[in-house]
Each structure stands twice: as C-alpha cells, then as structure tokens.
C-alpha cells in the first residue's frame, strides 16, 4: 500500500509470512525501515499520513495484541515518535456504529461507517487541531454525513487519487436503484449525480433534464415498481437478524407468492444485495426475493462475523432457518413455495439448513457449494484448507472435529426423508471448492433420502470454468436463465 501528500511520501510492505510491518520514508532512505506494528493474529490496521501525523485505523486497543471483536477505532501519533509507538486514541465509533474504512485528504477525513447494518459515509474537517485528551465520538467532531438513498446497500469509493481535492467520488447501489456515480463536495457539503445506469424497458428517469438542480440531486428510484423492506428477525437464540425483502408493488402479501431466500454467512463478507437487472425477471413474475444477513458474515461488523464463525457456526445456520420461517409466517412467501440459494460457503449454509429442516424449502440452488467440510479440512494439501481453520475450525483437534461434524452438510443427510428439489452446480477447474463436493452430495442425497425425490436433484458440472464460472456476459446470462428456469419449473409443479 502506498500514499502520498505534499509533505510526505512512503510505502508499507508486508507479506503473509512476515511477522512485522515496516514503513519506509522515501524522502530519506538512509533512515531505513521503521516498525509500525508487530503482526498479531486477528489484528488489522490501515495507515495514513497527514502533515506530520500518522493515523491508524485498527481493531486492537493500543498496547494490546489480542484480537478484539468490538470493531475499529482511530488513533494517531506524530511522525517523529513512530519508533516509540506513542499512539493516542482519538476517534471511537459510538453506540451502534462501526467504522469500516477511512481515507484522508488535505482538508478532510472520510470515514466509511455501518449503523445497524446500513452503510453510511461522512467527512470531518482536517487537521484535528484541538486537544484530544480522550477518544471522541464521531458525532462530537461535527461530521457531514453524505446524503444517501434510503435503501442503500453499498457505498464503494471511486478513483480519489488527488490528495488536495475536496470532492469525493463514490458508487452507490441498492436493491431498487441502479448503480449511481456520485461526487460529494466536502467543502460546500453538496453532491452531484455524475452518472446512473439506465434500465432498458423501465422509465425511471422522471426528472426534466433541463432542470439541472433537480437532475443532479435526483435518485432515480425504480421504487415506483419495486419495494424494498428491511426487517429484523428474531433468531432461535433471541438475536435479531437483518432481513432485506424485495418484491413488486403489484404483488399482494397474502401468503401465495413464490420466493427465494439468499444467504452467505462466512469470512465476514457482507451479503451482496446491490442492484441486479437479472432479478427483474422474477420480480415481474410475482416472486419475492429475500437476503438474510446471518451471523458469520459482515452485515453488522466484526463481532457479527465472530459470532458465526468457528465454534459458533451453527448460529449462522439457525439464523437462516429463522429468516425462512419469518417469510412464511408473515405471508411474504407461500409455505410450499420457498426456495433457497447459496454460493460457495453459502452452499454450506443452505445445505446444513436443509438437513435441519428439509420441509421448510421446496427448492434450492447450491452453486459450487462447500458441503463436505470434514473431509476437505482434513486434507491439508488442498489450497485453502489451513486458511479455513480460522473460519470453520481445525478438525485435527478432537473437540473442533466433533463440532464441525454436527453441521457438516454431507455428514448429516437424513435417511428416508423427503428433500427439496435441488440444482447443484460445480466447476471442474475450481481451485477453491473441489468439483467432487457437489457430486458427492448429490449421490448421497439420491441414495439416502426419499426415493421419489431423487430424480429432482440435479447436478450440473461446468467442465471449463473455475469457482466463479466462465467469463463473459452471455455465459452469465445463460447460467442465470438455467437457474431461474429450474426454480420456476419446481414452483410451478407445486402450484
């Protein structure tokens, strides 16, 4: 990682096998490498420089190398005291808020935040010249929160390479709004929509192009046609799980609609809920699409990931089940027409949920799913095995092996029970999830579950693609069409 401002140039060099992270002042190479922080398991930090100060965003309290799940805070030290490590905590997130990332410019500090699972972004004037005797909440620093659409699902920084610039560019997306490129003027505290994707066949741009003031501030919603609701679902252990529900406004919520529930819940990754034109095909057919931000993912920050990883993995599975039950009980989806979709580690989530409650779902799509977790983690020659010990546990340790066996999809298939119809995809050249995992799951489901259901368990193997399938727009359209056709066929047979 490199950064540059008018007074200082430097670089940070690191490697997975290194134990230390150093800084090199490129304007004075004779000083050699300076230690920033010793590497420690679970500790993360991001470094920036601003006029004689280093700013560090970290999840570890100063002077402590142990992992802390409460989230990030901001600290700083003077450049000349870097060797002594005299860091001072200056900004803490505040109640219900988590800092995700930062960027620093000549006159502003930009913070990416999550509040209740909803992305926020704000700017704070720099430099912070007043005395900071103790950490301050973001709200106490007179921040300007960038105006965002109410259904925003992601805020991604654009190309902001000019340190002296006061305009910050981001790409904003939501389930009901095509991606928009927006410039925020942090001095004037105003914004301009530079570009927004147009949707063929849908007239979402209802602002007169000649009205420049309105045009540059207009969020081109398609919410006139589609609704996006955020709910909190009570999981089986009393924890509230965020659930995003998307449907056409023409659909009446009366317990008759077909629908799918998507989930991932691993590696601290936030479930993808951005705008996707593919979904229009299902939404216009009266389908309901829901996204479950279960524990193990990053929907509510670092502690949310920690609470669904390793020995707590079963919590993420039960969260997914609770969200499925909520959709049925509240009338969003018919109880006989609920499907589930999981990709990669999300396939583990869906597969384990099906084992626990096989009658909850009528159809499922498992895309390059991680299903034979015990055998895979016991084979250290596979590319990601040892790296996955931290996420799922180490099966060479007896207690952790027994814990993994409790939820491993391949090892917990119920005998003689009716399972939902399933489309399982795998890729021959997949270096992350072996092609055999999907094949073994399909073979065992066909062998051990209800015989009359085995014919509706389909295995589709891509002999050329990798973990993310084949490249190209047409191949993506072909795969999506096949998956939607499977779901529509299965739901139609039940109806």
Nearest Cα to 273, choosing from 265, 284, 283, 263? 263
Beta strands in 309-451 (DSSP E): 338-343, 363-367, 421-427
> Does 199 lie in the same domain as 263?
no
* Count: domains in the chain: 3
Using CA atoms, how far apart are residues 466 and 460, in angstroms rounded to an integer? 13
> Does 122 lie in the same domain as 163?
no
Q: Is 344 a catalytic residue?
A: yes
pLDDT band at 461 (very low <50, low <70, confident <90, very high): confident
> Does 374 lie in the same domain as 290?
yes
Lowest mean pLDDT among 62-76, 93-107, 119-133, 452-466: 62-76
For position 7, what pLDDT does the model report? 43
> Does 383 lie in the same domain as 421?
yes
For position 66, what pLDDT does the model report? 46
Residue 439 has pLDDT above 60, yes or no: yes
Q: For 310-365, how does the pLDDT look when each residue is reduced to its tens digit (9 = 90+)?
A: 999 999 999 999 999 999 999 999 999 999 999 999 999 999 999 999 999 999 99
Say which of 106, 284, 411, 467 is annotated catalytic. 467
Query: Is residue 244 a contact partner of residue 229, using CB atoms and an 8 Å limit?
Result: yes
383 against 237, higher pLDDT: 237
Our measurement of the distance from residue 103's CA atom to the centroid of its chain's CA atoms, rounded to an integer in Å, reads 20
pLDDT band at 2 (very low <50, low <70, confident <90, very high): very low
> Does 273 lie in the same domain as 385?
yes
Say which of 257, 307, 430, 456 is annotated catalytic. 430
Lowest mean pLDDT among 83-92, 105-114, 133-142, 224-233: 83-92
Q: Residues with Cβ < 8 Å from 294, sequence gap 6 or more?
A: 241, 263, 264, 265, 308, 315, 316, 317, 319, 320, 323, 349
Looking up residue 301, the CATH number of its domain turns out to be 3.40.50.1820
> Does 482 lie in the same domain as 354?
yes
243 against 19, higher pLDDT: 243
150 against 181, higher pLDDT: 181
Our measurement of the distance from residue 107's CA atom to the centroid of its chain's CA atoms, rounded to an integer in Å, reads 31
Say which of 220, 344, 421, 456 is annotated catalytic. 344
Structural element, H or E, at residue 446: helix 435-448
Looking up residue 33, the CATH number of its domain turns out to be 2.130.10.120
Residue 13 has pLDDT above 80, yes or no: no
Residue 211 has pLDDT above 90, yes or no: no
For position 241, what pLDDT does the model report? 96
Q: Considering 145, 174, 191, which residue would you say is the last residue of a domain?
A: 145
84 against 180, higher pLDDT: 180
> Does 194 lie in the same domain as 167?
yes
> Does 166 lie in the same domain as 99?
no
For position 218, what pLDDT does the model report? 66
> Does 230 lie in the same domain as 217?
no
- Residue 188's domain comprises 150-223
Q: Considering 106, 129, 145, which residue would you say is the last residue of a domain?
A: 145
pLDDT band at 131 (very low <50, low <70, confident <90, very high): low
Residue 18 has pLDDT above 60, yes or no: no
Residue 242 has pLDDT above 80, yes or no: yes
Residue 14 has pLDDT above 50, yes or no: no
Q: For 417-432, how does the pLDDT look when each residue is reduced to its tens digit (9 = 90+)?
A: 999 999 999 988 877 8
For position 45, what pLDDT does the model report? 80
If you average pLDDT over every residue of the chain, what do you get? 84
Lowest mean pLDDT among 29-38, 134-143, 158-167: 29-38
> Does 445 lie in the same domain as 296?
yes
196 DSSP β-pair partners: 180
Q: Is 359 a catalytic residue?
A: no
Q: Is 467 a catalytic residue?
A: yes
The DSSP code sequence of 87-128 is -EEEEE--TTEEEEEEEE-SSEEEEEEEETTEEEEEEEES--
Which pTM does this prediction carry?
0.87
pLDDT band at 65 (very low <50, low <70, confident <90, very high): very low
> Does 161 lie in the same domain as 78?
no
> Does 141 lie in the same domain as 166?
no
* For the chain, the helix, strand and coil percentages under 3-state DSSP, each to the nearest 5: 25, 30, 45
Q: Considering 94, 122, 145, which residue would you say is the last residue of a domain?
A: 145
Q: Residues with Cβ < 8 Å from 4, sequence gap 6 or more?
A: 163
pLDDT over 90, % of the chain: 48
């Amino acid at each position: 990682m490199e950064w540059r401002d008018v007074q200082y140039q430097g670089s940070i060099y690191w490697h997975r096998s290194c134990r230390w992270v150093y800084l090199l002042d490129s304007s004075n190479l004779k000083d050699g490498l300076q230690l920033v922080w010793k590497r420690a398991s679970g500790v993360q930090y991001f470094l920036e420089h601003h006029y004689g100060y280093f700013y560090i965003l970290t999840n570890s309290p100063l002077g402590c190398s142990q992992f802390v799940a409460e989230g990030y805070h901001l600290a700083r030290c003077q450049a000349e005291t870097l060797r002594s490590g005299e860091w001072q905590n200056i900004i803490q997130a505040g109640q219900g808020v988590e800092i995700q990332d930062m960027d620093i410019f000549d006159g502003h500090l930009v913070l990416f935040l999550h509040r209740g699972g909803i992305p926020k972004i704000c700017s704070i004037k720099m430099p912070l010249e007043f005395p900071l005797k103790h950490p301050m909440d973001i709200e106490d620093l007179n921040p300007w929160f960038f105006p965002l659409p109410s259904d925003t699902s992601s805020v991604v920084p654009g190309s902001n390479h000019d340190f002296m610039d006061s305009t910050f560019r981001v790409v904003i997306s939501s389930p009901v709004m095509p991606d928009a490129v927006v410039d925020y003027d942090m001095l004037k505290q105003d914004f301009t929509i530079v570009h927004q994707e147009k949707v063929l066949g849908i007239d979402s741009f209802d602002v007169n192009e000649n009205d420049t003031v309105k045009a540059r501030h207009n969020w081109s919603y398609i919410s006139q046609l589609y609704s996006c609701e955020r709910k909190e679902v009570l999981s089986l252990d009393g924890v509230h799980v965020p659930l995003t529900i998307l449907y056409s406004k023409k659909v009446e919520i009366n317990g008759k609609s077909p629908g799918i529930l998507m989930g991932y819940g691993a590696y601290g990754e936030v479930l993808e809920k951005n705008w996707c034109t593919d979904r229009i095909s299902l939404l216009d057919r009266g389908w309901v699409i829901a996204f479950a931000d279960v524990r193990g993912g990053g929907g509510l920050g670092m502690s949310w990931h920690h609470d669904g990883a390793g020995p707590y993995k079963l919590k993420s599975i039960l969260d997914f089940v609770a969200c499925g039950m909520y959709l049925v009980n509240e009338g969003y989806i018919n109880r006989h027409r609920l499907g589930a979709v999981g990709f990669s580690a999300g396939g583990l989530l869906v597969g384990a949920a099906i084992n626990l409650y096989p009658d909850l779902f009528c159809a499922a799509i498992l895309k390059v799913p991680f299903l034979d977790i015990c055998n895979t983690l016991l084979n250290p020659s596979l590319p990601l095995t040892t790296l996955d010990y931290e996420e799922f546990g180490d099966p060479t340790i007896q207690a952790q092996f027994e814990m993994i066996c409790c939820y491993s999809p391949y090892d917990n298939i119920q005998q003689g029970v009716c399972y939902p119809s399933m489309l399982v995809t795998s890729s021959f050249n997949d270096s992350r999830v072996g092609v055999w995992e999907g094949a073994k799951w399909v073979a065992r489901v066909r062998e051990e579950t209800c015989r009359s259901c085995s014919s509706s368990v389909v295995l589709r193997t891509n002999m050329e693609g990798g973990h993310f399938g084949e490249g190209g727009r047409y191949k993506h359209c072909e795969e999506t069409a096949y998956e939607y056709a499977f779901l529509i066929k299965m739901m139609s047979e039940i109806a």
